Amino acid sequence: MTPSPARARSLAASALALGALLGTASCDALSTPPTAEKPDYAATTAAPTASPGGTPALTQAQAQAALVTAADLGEQWTPTQGVATWHDGLLKATAQRPDCRRLLDTLYAEDLFGANTRAHAVIGLDDVWNGSQLRYQVVTQSPADVDRTVAWLKTLPAKCAEFTVTTAHGTVQNVQVTDAGLPGVGDARQGLRITLSGATLNDEPVLLTLDVAVVRVGDDAIGLTHGGLGDVSPDVTQAAVQLGAQRLAEVRKTGRAQI
């Protein structure tokens, strides 16, 4: 199945706009080219330990078994071929307000949970129809730490509803942060929709849309970012959260020591 002619024209326009943004030598240095050899998931190898509540941490195999995969999302999704050019082109930026700057740093680092995680598995997926990317994590972390992350995310639609950033290329982007509803899964959850809009170095319009979600399921958590130029379907984000939470709960139910 291929995109419609109208959608193809839209994708081509977005690609041209970003190409203008990254069309200088300095931008080339910031871009990461596709890497066909890059694996579709990576994981740490920490040994299982008990959570504060006494529940054993996920093993590495269990964390990987709880991941959402390309097969779950549809035929247009494939293992990632590398970091998208918009990642450095637009997310490598500075903001004045501390919480907004922290949000940008979190998005750029692609690390929603920070330190103190134990079992950790992550997968990167590309939508070949519209160029969007999804990064999905499964971690074991103290419920109190995850809940603090969720609580912080909940403040951002008010604290960072609208602000401006200056990218590494010197362009100014307008940022909007809104609450993104998530399925009622897990024990704590928060979703955000973030848009960056402005112009490239050649005054071509550019729009980046990012969905962010964190869900705690018992002593474990899932986190994802789903972004791309132009339209990014919230249905994909919600489906990944729904399925991911169910899969993580099933891993817990069937017994952590059995995988």
> Where do the domains of the chain lie?
5-258
* 28 burial level (CB within 10 Å; 0-12, 13-18, 19+): exposed
| Cβ neighbour number for residue 154 with a 10 Å cutoff | 16
3-state secondary structure of 229: strand
Mean pLDDT calculated for residue range 120-133: 94
As assigned by CATH, the class of the 5-258 domain is alpha beta
Query: Distances in Å between the alpha carbon of 132 and those of 27, 68, 145, 153, 209?
Result: 20, 16, 29, 22, 9
Q: What are phi and psi of 174, to 5 degrees?
A: -90, 130
Q: What is the residue type of 178?
A: T
Length of the chain: 259
Query: What span, in angstroms and rounded, lies between the C-alpha atoms of 160 and 148?
Result: 18
Enter the pTM of the model. 0.79
Mean pLDDT calculated for residue range 71-95: 94
CA angle 254, 184, 111 (to 5 degrees): 75
pLDDT tens per residue, range 176-213: 999 999 999 999 999 999 999 999 888 899 999 999 99
Mean pLDDT calculated for residue range 107-130: 89
pLDDT at site 254: 81
CA angle 19, 21, 25 (to 5 degrees): 90
Q: Which range is most confident: 7-21, 47-61, 182-196?
A: 182-196
Under the phi-then-psi rule, with left for phi > 0, alpha for psi from -120 to 50, and beta for the rest, what region is 221?
A: beta
Q: What are phi and psi of 67, to 5 degrees?
A: -70, 150
Is 99:106 a contact under the CB 8 Å cutoff? no
The residue whose two tokens read 């330190």 is 115
Poorest-confidence range of 112-116, 188-192, 254-258? Answer: 254-258
Is 175:156 a contact under the CB 8 Å cutoff? no
